[in-house]
């Protein structure tokens, strides 16, 4: 650790890199060429373009999700809420290839509109994607997907963007700690919304607890 005035350098390791984090968790569903369904939590997922709509995620090459992506080149990004924390955790457990994690977690698959991998019923939003390209960058592979369809549960249809964000109640992942016989996954949730309004060149910031 070296000092730079009032700054301190840290060694670059996993948990330090999570400073950038607070990544909302998604549940990615894929299918194998044998038709088996897979689901796994992914937090390194982001939209990278609106026009055309595209998103990028990274997947460890040892994972079943990677195998399925390479075999069938489709996936669904399902958006779980904080209420699904336990189920999301169950799907991250290491099951043998072909095990349907949705069944293990008591979650319900229902057909997608445009792709073979199913949507997860308990999730309130879903983004159906087809793989455009993959690129290995180390222990992980980047997957760029074209967004083919987006759906939300009916009860959210009439909500404005703010109400929708609150209703989604995203599960936000920010740390993982491993001890001798204990592991901690640290999550956060939305609690405050800040609205910056610019009117006639004047800026006003309003904060609301939600
Ligand atoms: C909150 C959370 C976020 C995760 N994010 C990612 C991720 O972005 N990329 C990744 O490769 N694995 C991620 N993982 C780990 C995988 O979900 C986990 O290793 C899983 O067992 C892989 O399943 P699969 O082999 O069925 O694909 C995450 C796990 C958790 C709990």
User: Does 59 contact ligand 1 (Cβ within 6 A)?
Assistant: yes
Q: What percent of the chain has pLDDT over 70?
A: 98
Average pLDDT (74-89) is 98
Q: Map tokens 């910031």 to a residue.
A: 205
Most ligand 1 atoms within 8 A of CB, residue of 26, 41, 61 to mutate: 41
Ligand 1, closest atom to CA 41? 17
**pLDDT number for residue 173:** 96
Task: Give 15-38 pLDDT, tens digit per residue.
Answer: 888 888 899 999 999 999 999 999
Alpha carbon distance 188, 182 (integer Å): 20
**What is the position in ligand 1's atom list of the atom closest to the CA of 67?**
27
Determine the atom of ligand 1 nearest the C-alpha atom of 89. Answer: 31
Residue-averaged pLDDT of the chain? 96
Predicted TM-score of the model (pTM)? 0.96
Atom of ligand 1 nearest to the CA of 68: 27
Residues contacting residue 195 through CB under 8 Å, at least 6 positions apart: 205, 206, 207, 208
Which pLDDT value is given to residue 47?
A: 97
Q: Is the CB of 60 under 6 A from ligand 1?
A: yes
Give 63's DSSP letter.
S
Q: Which pLDDT belongs to residue 104?
A: 98
Instruction: Report the sign of the C-alpha dihedral through residues 23, 24, 25, 29, in that order.
Output: negative
Task: Work out the pLDDT band at 14, boundaries 50, 70, 90.
Answer: confident
Q: How far is the CA of 69 from the centre of ligand 1 (A)?
A: 14
Q: What integer pLDDT is reported at residue 4 of this predicted model? A: 67
């Amino acid at each position: 650790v070296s000092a730079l005035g009032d700054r301190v350098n840290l060694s670059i390791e996993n948990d330090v890199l999570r400073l950038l984090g607070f990544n909302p968790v998604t549940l990615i569903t894929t299918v194998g060429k044998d038709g088996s369904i897979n689901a796994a939590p992914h937090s390194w997922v982001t939209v990278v373009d609106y026009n055309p709509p595209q998103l990028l995620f990274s997947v460890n090459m040892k994972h079943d999700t990677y195998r399925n992506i390479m075999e069938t080149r489709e996936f669904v990004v399902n958006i779980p809420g904080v209420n699904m924390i336990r189920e999301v955790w169950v799907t991250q457990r290491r099951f043998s290839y072909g095990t349907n994690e949705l069944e293990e977690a008591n979650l319900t698959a229902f057909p997608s509109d445009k792709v073979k991998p199913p949507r997860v019923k308990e999730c309130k939003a879903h983004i159906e994607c087809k793989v455009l390209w993959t690129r290995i960058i180390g222990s992980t592979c980047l997957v760029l997907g074209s967004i083919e369809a987006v759906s939300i549960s009916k009860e959210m249809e009439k909500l404005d963007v703010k109400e929708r964000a609150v209703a989604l109640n995203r599960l936000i992942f920010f740390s993982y700690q491993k001890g001798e016989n204990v592991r901690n996954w640290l999550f956060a949730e939305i609690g405050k919304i800040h609205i910056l309004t610019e009117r006639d060149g004047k800026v006003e910031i309003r904060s609301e607890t939600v």
